[in-house]
Amino acid sequence: MAQQDTRRFLKAATALVAGLVLAACGKQEVPPAPAETASAPASAPAPAPAKVYTVGTDAAYAPFEFQNEKGEIVGLSVDLLTAVAEKGGFQVKFVNTPWEGIFNALGQGDRDLLISSITITDERKQTMDFSDPYFDAFQLIAVKESSKISKFDDLKKLKVGVQTGTTGDEVVTKLQGKTATTIKRFESTPLALKELEAGGVDAVVADNGVVIHYVANNPGSKFKTVSDKAFAPEQYGIAVKKGNTELLGLINKGLAAVKADGTYAAIYKKTFGTEPPAAAPAASAASN
């Protein structure tokens, strides 16, 4: 009997051990928890919008800056500065600003920069800073086709129209004297040229680009132009408030880029129908 009980005990024990072995063999390994992944970096902050600078321009000086039939300010100056701003990483907003108050507007901070066919001069450099030159200019005389005027000195005792405060005003004043009553001053060069057409003056002295554009686009006026070597070469620049080196750097950066990639040449050709001439010597001390 004891032997039989022993066998039963051994049989049960054997079965139990076998069951434990099978259970162990059938156990599923629990995979280790995946390592915690690093969180994705935060999105880079959106770049700050380009700063918008207010530009003063006397929009009465075709083909450089003028208003079209929609009242929009257009011209070489607008096309150029828009391209310069894109290359320099800033934006511009053009505001029509009368010539008589344009420099005060810059000095008082009402305008951030000026582009208005402004000649770079030593006198102006004392109160404002200029970009690198962007246009070579000189004075030109407009007269009627029947006029006998052939040189600047012929204007010494004649009635001459000029735009107030420009190079034309300065050189004619120097020729005729500060007290001369034969100098007729106007708010814009086109007004002076209208006076020439009406016979109110014998000649008009103004920047070459403006005179050439007016004569070409107003054939009914029957004007011709007279050049004179007595007129010193001039260069236009973009003006900023004295000491604004940050903005001046952006402008010069953009200006260099548009000159290098052909944008300037394309704008010049669009305006005048020809390629820009070779660069002129350094700016003279005349005023716009």
pTM of this prediction?
A: 0.76
Q: What is the mean pLDDT of the chain?
A: 86
Per-residue pLDDT averaged across 251-277, rounded? 95
**Cα 74 from chain centre:** 12
The HSE-up count of residue 177 (CA atoms within 13 Å, CB side) is 7
Phi-psi region of 64 (alpha: psi -120 to 50; beta: other; left: phi over 0): alpha
Q: What is the pLDDT of residues 1-46, one digit of tens each?
A: 444 454 454 454 444 444 444 344 343 444 555 555 555 556 667 6
Q: What is the pLDDT of residues 204-225, one digit of tens each?
A: 999 999 999 999 999 999 999 9
Look at residue 240 and tell me whether its pLDDT is greater than 50: yes
Q: Of 32-36, 41-45, 227-231, 276-280, which gets the smallest average pLDDT?
A: 32-36
Look at residue 280 and tell me whether its pLDDT is greater than 90: no
pLDDT of residue 24: 42
pLDDT of residue 216: 92
Distance (Å, whole) CA 260 – CA 280: 17
pLDDT of residue 127: 97
The tokens of 186 are what? 């106007």
Q: Which helix (H) or strand (E) holds 96?
A: strand 91-96
Q: Of 32-41, 72-81, 278-287, which gets the smallest average pLDDT?
A: 278-287
Q: What is the pLDDT of residues 79-134, one digit of tens each?
A: 999 999 999 999 999 999 999 999 999 999 999 999 999 999 999 999 999 999 99
pLDDT of residue 185: 97
Look at residue 164 and tell me whether its pLDDT is greater than 90: yes
Q: Return the closest-CA partner of residue 119 out of 178, 206, 248, 204.
A: 206
Identity of the amino acid at 41: P
Q: Return the closest-CA partner of residue 67 out of 98, 38, 39.
A: 98
